[in-house]
Amino acid sequence: MTRHLGLISLITLCFSTVQAAPQPSSPKPNIILIVADDFGYADLGSYGSTFYNTPNLNQLASNGVRFTDAYASSSVCSPSRASMLTGKYPARYEVDDWIPGRGSKPDLTRFMKLRPPKVADQIPLEETTLAEVLKLQGYRTAFVGKWHLGIKEEYWPENQGFDVNKGGWRAGAPYYRPYDSDKDLWHGADSGFFSPYRNPRLKDGPKGEYLTDRLTNESIRFIKDTNKQPFFLMLSYYTVHNPLHGKPELIEKNKVRAKALGLDKMQTIVDDLPWMNRPDPGLWRERLIQSNAEYAAMIESMDHNIGRILDTADTMGLDKNTIVVFTSDNGGLSTSEGSPTSNLPLAKGKGWLNEGGIRVPLIFSYPGKILSGAVVEDPVMNTDFFLTLLSFTSQAHNYDTSVDGVDLSPLLLGRAHAMEERSLYWHYPHYSNQGGLPSGAIRRGSYKLIEYFETGDVELFKLDEDISETHNLAAELPKIANKLKEDLKNWRKSVGAAMPTPNPNYDPTPSKESIDLLNDPT
């Protein structure tokens, strides 16, 4: 396989023939890709949480490969999810914010010094998805849960390579607010994690049915119905996206637990964060302690249901021939909208290009085929899923595909020094709901640089010594900072990344309506 090196002259779009990882002659492996929503790096016991209850995911990590430096391609959902399916940086097709984004709304852009570029409303149908490739190999494919990769129905999962779609449509959260295109307004009552769901791709269950349970039921039904045909299941839980809706009995259980641990008496929120050019600094408050009982209840339900999926594969005798991947679409929500979790020791969270917004848990399991109980520290990204999973599905392929990710199977198979150092890139030319500014980032080795588009200022961190990004080295190491900034600029040019432009209507004192819109999670 042609490796995508970090040098900017080689990181541009390459044509790579997919080559499979060495494996004995056997049936093609099943693939279960489990994606949590807004689930933070530190939200798992195996990644440091002492409050959230995640025994099944902890066991999955113990039996497989756990990555310490895994990244989402974006700090928000739609771009990251697009990368998982295409293997490409989302800037290539202008899905660089959640769909449809806020940048074009005048009430929101008045307080922005820069006008963000327009966000594409979908993954283009011309893009080749992982599901489409696997279908060509004889796989039966299913998408269950959150899609959020197309406004119009023609861009939903069934038109992007999935035979079955249960729950995937335009919405990015488990609530439905009808959209009035004439007034460009959302209205109506929230639904949430309990039936009725008001989801056109998921029939309402009995009143009070819990969405996480239902999505698991649909997944198990699909697995049982595959009839020995190899399958690809992308189970995309809405957990733990707002609104926070946990089962009452688990909320109470975790309230008692938080009190017993003394978490209810600890400082949980930092109020005075140095936001620049913001209408109301009080909108953004960073959480320091994991203590939210309802958030913990949602995680506990998800972990329990993942255990049900794993038990089903085991009972059916599929466990030894099934690849299971668990990850999150972006970092945990820690600076706004209730700030339900803490990502410490990582800085910030969802909506930011600091580590808390883009570093995510990543676990691979393939019993008897890859390492067991291993920890990998190499920096990787969810753009790598495409080639990595395909490397295990066939010894050779008769097609070429252009992607940005690389094949991680050498790391999964334990080959020492198998991966060449490369650069990873991020592009977020928007003002996030969570307080983040338009910015870009690059990581090369242990060095990471963040560039802020309003001013051109940069921050440089050495992550192996400063995982919390507290010491800006840009002034101390100007050669490294300038080189990384130039590489980032060249990469943006190579992928055609859309940039923000000066805002002629900038008003540093926006209306109350602007502030209310910022608080609206839709």
Asked if pLDDT for residue 404 goes beyond 60, the answer is yes
Q: In which band, very low, low, confident or very high, does the pLDDT at 270 lie, cut at 50, 70 and 90? A: confident
In the prediction, which pLDDT does 427 show?
A: 98
Whether residue 192 lies inside any domain: the answer is no
The CA radius of gyration of the chain, in Å to the nearest whole number, is: 22
What proportion of the chain, given as a percentage, has pLDDT over 90?
Answer: 73
Tens digit of each residue's pLDDT (9 = 90 or more) over 296-323: 999 999 999 999 999 999 999 999 999 9
Whether residue 12 lies inside any domain: the answer is no
In the prediction, which pLDDT does 31 show?
A: 98
Asked if pLDDT for residue 11 goes beyond 80, the answer is no
**What are residue 210's phi and psi, to 5 degrees?**
-90, 130
Which is more confidently placed, 138 or 106? Answer: 138
Helix axes 293-315, 211-224, angle to 10 degrees: 10
The number of helices, as runs of H, and strands, as runs of E, in the chain is 13, 22
Q: Out of 95-99, 412-416, 425-429, which region has the weakest mean confidence (pLDDT)?
A: 412-416
Mean pLDDT of 439-457: 97
CA distance 129 to 132: 5
Q: In which band, very low, low, confident or very high, does the pLDDT at 399 lie, cut at 50, 70 and 90? A: low
- Supply 330's token pair: 């972006």
pTM to 2 decimal places: 0.90
In the prediction, which pLDDT does 264 show?
A: 82
Q: Out of 82-86, 269-273, 421-425, 492-496, which region has the weakest mean confidence (pLDDT)?
A: 269-273
Cβ atoms < 10 Å from Cβ of 520: 11
Which is more confidently placed, 172 or 419? Answer: 172
Tens digit of each residue's pLDDT (9 = 90 or more) over 51-93: 999 999 999 999 999 999 999 999 999 999 999 999 999 999 9
In the prediction, which pLDDT does 336 show?
A: 86
Mean pLDDT of 139-157: 97
Which is more confidently placed, 515 or 197? Answer: 197
Whether residue 95 lies inside any domain: the answer is yes
Asked if pLDDT for residue 517 goes beyond 60, the answer is no
In the prediction, which pLDDT does 175 show?
A: 72
Which is more confidently placed, 179 or 293? Answer: 293
Whether residue 5 lies inside any domain: the answer is no
- Supply 75's token pair: 């700090």
Whether residue 13 lies inside any domain: the answer is no
Asked if pLDDT for residue 2 goes beyond 50, the answer is no
Highest mean pLDDT among 14-28, 169-183, 324-338: 324-338
Q: Print the domain residue range for 352.
A: 29-178+198-519
Domain count, the chain: 1
Which is more confidently placed, 239 or 179? Answer: 239
Report the side by side order of strands in the sheet with 423-428.
423-428, 439-444, 447-452, 458-462
Asked if pLDDT for residue 421 goes beyond 70, the answer is yes
Tens digit of each residue's pLDDT (9 = 90 or more) over 464-509: 999 999 999 999 999 999 999 999 999 999 999 999 999 888 877 6
In the prediction, which pLDDT does 90 show?
A: 97
Asked if pLDDT for residue 122 goes beyond 80, the answer is yes
Q: In which band, very low, low, confident or very high, does the pLDDT at 10 lie, cut at 50, 70 and 90? A: very low
**Left if phi > 0, otherwise alpha if psi is -120 to 50, otherwise beta: which for 180?**
beta
In the prediction, which pLDDT does 30 show?
A: 97
CA distance 138 to 136: 5
Mean pLDDT of 91-104: 87
- Supply 376's token pair: 């990998």
Mean residue pLDDT of the chain comes to: 87
CB of 384 closer than 8 Å to CB of 315: no
CA distance 242 to 95: 22
Q: In which band, very low, low, confident or very high, does the pLDDT at 3 lie, cut at 50, 70 and 90? A: very low
Whether residue 18 lies inside any domain: the answer is no
CB of 170 closer than 8 Å to CB of 159: no
Mean pLDDT of 411-439: 89
CB of 444 closer than 8 Å to CB of 468: no
Whether residue 350 lies inside any domain: the answer is yes
Q: Provide the residue type at 482 as one letter.
A: N
CATH of the domain at 414: 3.40.720.10
Asked if pLDDT for residue 222 goes beyond 60, the answer is yes
What proportion of the chain, given as a percentage, has pLDDT over 70?
Answer: 83
**What DSSP string describes 437-466?**
PSEEEEEETTEEEEEETTT--EEEEETTT-
Closest CA to 41 of 385, 428, 347, 465: 347
Whether residue 423 lies inside any domain: the answer is yes
- Supply 128's token pair: 């080749």
DSSP single-letter state for residue 150: B
Tens digit of each residue's pLDDT (9 = 90 or more) over 199-219: 999 999 998 899 999 999 999
CA distance 455 to 471: 19
Asked if pLDDT for residue 9 goes beyond 50, the answer is no
In the prediction, which pLDDT does 318 show?
A: 95
CA distance 351 to 335: 9
In the prediction, which pLDDT does 493 show?
A: 98
